Protein backbone atom coordinates (compact mmCIF):
# COMPACT_ATOMS: atom_id res chain seq x y z
CA UNK A 1 0.00 0.00 0.00
CA UNK A 2 1.32 3.43 -0.95
CA UNK A 3 2.21 5.95 1.71
CA UNK A 4 -0.87 8.15 2.31
CA UNK A 5 1.25 11.31 2.19
CA UNK A 6 2.53 10.40 -1.26
CA UNK A 7 -0.97 9.43 -2.41
CA UNK A 8 -2.23 12.87 -1.36
CA UNK A 9 0.76 14.58 -2.99
CA UNK A 10 0.18 12.60 -6.20
CA UNK A 11 -3.41 13.83 -6.38
CA UNK A 12 -2.57 17.48 -5.67
CA UNK A 13 0.41 17.54 -8.05
CA UNK A 14 -1.63 15.87 -10.80
CA UNK A 15 -4.53 18.31 -10.47
CA UNK A 16 -2.16 21.26 -10.31
CA UNK A 17 -0.30 20.22 -13.45
CA UNK A 18 -3.62 19.83 -15.28
CA UNK A 19 -4.65 23.35 -14.25
CA UNK A 20 -1.26 24.75 -15.25
CA UNK A 21 -1.53 23.05 -18.65
CA UNK A 22 -4.99 24.57 -19.19
CA UNK A 23 -3.56 28.03 -18.50
CA UNK A 24 -1.21 27.76 -21.51
CA UNK A 25 -3.20 25.53 -23.82
CA UNK A 26 -4.03 27.28 -27.09
CA UNK A 27 -1.74 30.26 -26.45
CA UNK A 28 0.30 31.82 -29.22
CA UNK A 29 4.00 32.56 -28.75
CA UNK A 30 3.09 36.22 -28.34
CA UNK A 31 0.62 35.42 -25.56
CA UNK A 32 3.08 33.09 -23.80
CA UNK A 33 5.83 35.72 -23.86
CA UNK A 34 3.76 38.82 -23.06
CA UNK A 35 4.64 40.43 -19.74
CA UNK A 36 1.30 41.70 -18.48
CA UNK A 37 2.56 44.68 -16.48
CA UNK A 38 5.91 45.54 -18.00
CA UNK A 39 9.42 44.22 -18.13
CA UNK A 40 9.71 43.47 -14.43
CA UNK A 41 6.81 40.99 -14.54
CA UNK A 42 6.79 37.43 -15.79
CA UNK A 43 4.79 36.13 -18.71
CA UNK A 44 3.07 32.77 -18.87
CA UNK A 45 6.08 31.05 -20.42
CA UNK A 46 8.35 32.12 -17.57
CA UNK A 47 5.81 31.29 -14.86
CA UNK A 48 5.14 27.84 -16.26
CA UNK A 49 8.77 27.03 -17.03
CA UNK A 50 9.85 28.00 -13.54
CA UNK A 51 6.94 26.15 -11.90
CA UNK A 52 7.73 22.93 -13.76
CA UNK A 53 11.48 22.95 -13.14
CA UNK A 54 11.03 23.91 -9.51
CA UNK A 55 8.40 21.24 -8.91
CA UNK A 56 10.54 18.55 -10.49
CA UNK A 57 13.57 19.56 -8.41
CA UNK A 58 11.76 19.80 -5.07
CA UNK A 59 9.83 16.55 -5.65
CA UNK A 60 13.11 14.82 -6.52
CA UNK A 61 14.60 16.02 -3.27
CA UNK A 62 11.46 14.99 -1.36
CA UNK A 63 11.41 11.39 -2.60
CA UNK A 64 15.16 10.86 -2.67
CA UNK A 65 15.49 10.71 -6.45
CA UNK A 66 18.49 11.98 -8.36
CA UNK A 67 18.34 15.75 -8.57
CA UNK A 68 17.78 17.05 -12.10
CA UNK A 69 20.11 19.53 -13.72
CA UNK A 70 18.59 22.94 -13.21
CA UNK A 71 19.50 26.41 -14.45
CA UNK A 72 17.16 28.51 -12.35
CA UNK A 73 18.16 31.89 -13.87
CA UNK A 74 17.46 30.54 -17.38
CA UNK A 75 13.89 29.72 -16.32
CA UNK A 76 13.25 33.45 -16.00
CA UNK A 77 14.74 34.26 -19.41
CA UNK A 78 12.76 31.76 -21.48
CA UNK A 79 11.19 33.05 -24.70
CA UNK A 80 8.85 30.80 -26.63
CA UNK A 81 9.10 30.75 -30.40
CA UNK A 82 7.17 27.53 -31.02
CA UNK A 83 4.12 26.96 -28.78
CA UNK A 84 3.86 23.30 -29.83
CA UNK A 85 7.46 22.66 -28.76
CA UNK A 86 6.81 24.53 -25.51
CA UNK A 87 3.80 22.31 -24.78
CA UNK A 88 5.79 19.18 -25.66
CA UNK A 89 8.44 20.23 -23.13
CA UNK A 90 5.70 21.00 -20.61
CA UNK A 91 4.20 17.55 -21.08
CA UNK A 92 7.58 15.80 -20.76
CA UNK A 93 8.45 17.55 -17.50
CA UNK A 94 4.92 17.00 -16.17
CA UNK A 95 5.34 13.25 -16.80
CA UNK A 96 8.60 13.36 -14.82
CA UNK A 97 6.89 15.21 -11.95
CA UNK A 98 4.04 12.71 -11.83
CA UNK A 99 6.47 9.79 -11.93
CA UNK A 100 8.27 11.10 -8.85
CA UNK A 101 5.10 10.73 -6.77
CA UNK A 102 4.06 7.41 -8.33
CA UNK A 103 6.25 5.54 -5.87
CA UNK A 104 4.96 2.76 -3.63
CA UNK A 105 7.88 3.24 -1.25
CA UNK A 106 7.30 4.58 2.23
CA UNK A 107 7.90 8.30 2.39
CA UNK A 108 10.83 9.10 4.67
CA UNK A 109 9.73 12.55 5.81
CA UNK A 110 12.81 13.03 7.96
CA UNK A 111 15.40 12.36 5.24
CA UNK A 112 17.62 15.41 4.84
CA UNK A 113 19.05 16.87 1.64
CA UNK A 114 20.09 20.16 0.11
CA UNK A 115 18.87 22.19 -2.84
CA UNK A 116 21.99 23.06 -4.87
CA UNK A 117 20.00 25.19 -7.32
CA UNK A 118 19.45 27.83 -4.62
CA UNK A 119 21.79 30.80 -4.35
CA UNK A 120 24.55 31.27 -1.80
CA UNK A 121 24.36 29.68 1.63
CA UNK A 122 20.79 28.49 0.99
CA UNK A 123 22.19 25.86 -1.39
CA UNK A 124 23.92 24.19 1.56
CA UNK A 125 21.07 24.56 4.04
CA UNK A 126 19.66 21.14 4.96
CA UNK A 127 15.94 20.58 4.41
CA UNK A 128 13.82 17.56 5.26
CA UNK A 129 11.97 15.54 2.69
CA UNK A 130 8.74 16.66 4.36
CA UNK A 131 9.67 20.31 3.88
CA UNK A 132 10.69 19.72 0.25
CA UNK A 133 7.40 17.94 -0.53
CA UNK A 134 5.25 20.61 1.08
CA UNK A 135 7.26 23.36 -0.58
CA UNK A 136 6.97 21.68 -3.99
CA UNK A 137 3.19 21.58 -3.68
CA UNK A 138 2.74 25.06 -2.20
CA UNK A 139 5.06 26.64 -4.76
CA UNK A 140 3.37 24.84 -7.65
CA UNK A 141 -0.09 25.93 -6.45
CA UNK A 142 1.12 29.52 -6.11
CA UNK A 143 2.31 29.56 -9.72
CA UNK A 144 -0.85 27.85 -10.97
CA UNK A 145 -2.75 30.81 -9.53
CA UNK A 146 -0.30 33.26 -11.09
CA UNK A 147 -0.65 31.57 -14.47
CA UNK A 148 -4.44 31.55 -14.29
CA UNK A 149 -4.55 35.27 -13.47
CA UNK A 150 -1.94 36.11 -16.10
CA UNK A 151 -3.92 34.22 -18.73
CA UNK A 152 -6.93 36.38 -17.91
CA UNK A 153 -5.05 39.61 -18.58
CA UNK A 154 -2.89 38.69 -21.57
Domain count of the fold of the chain: 1
- Which pLDDT belongs to residue 27? 97
Q: Which domain holds residue 86?
A: 4-153
Q: What is the pLDDT of residue 87?
A: 98
Element (H, E) at 141: helix 129-153
> For residues 21 and 16, what is the distance between their CA atoms, to the nearest angstrom?
9
- The CATH number covering residue 44 comes to 1.20.120.450
pLDDT for the residue numbered 2? 79
pLDDT of residue 105: 84
CA end-to-end distance (rounded Å), the chain: 44
**Hey, which bits of 5-141 come out as E strands?**
112-113, 127-128
Q: Which residues of the chain have pLDDT under 70?
A: none
Please tell me the predicted confidence (pLDDT) of residue 38. 87
As beta bridge partners, residue 89 has none
Tens of pLDDT, residue by residue over 104-121, are: 888 999 999 999 999 999
Residues 50 and 37: beta-carbon distance below 8 Å: no
pLDDT for the residue 88: 98
pLDDT for position 141: 98
Phi, psi of 47 (to 5 degrees): -55, -45
pLDDT tens digits, one per residue of 80-98: 999 999 999 999 999 999 9
Strands (E), 64-135: 112-113, 127-128
Long-range contacts of 131-134 (CB under 8 A, 24+ apart): 132/58, 132/59, 132/61, 132/62, 133/5, 133/9, 133/58, 133/59, 133/62, 133/63, 133/107, 133/109
Confidence (pTM): 0.96
Q: What pLDDT sits at residue 113? A: 97
Amino acid sequence: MADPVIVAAREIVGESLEELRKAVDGCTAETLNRRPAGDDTNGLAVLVTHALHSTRAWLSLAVGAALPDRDRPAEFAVVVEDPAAFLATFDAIAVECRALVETEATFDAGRVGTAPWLAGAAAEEPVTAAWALLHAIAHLREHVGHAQLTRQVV
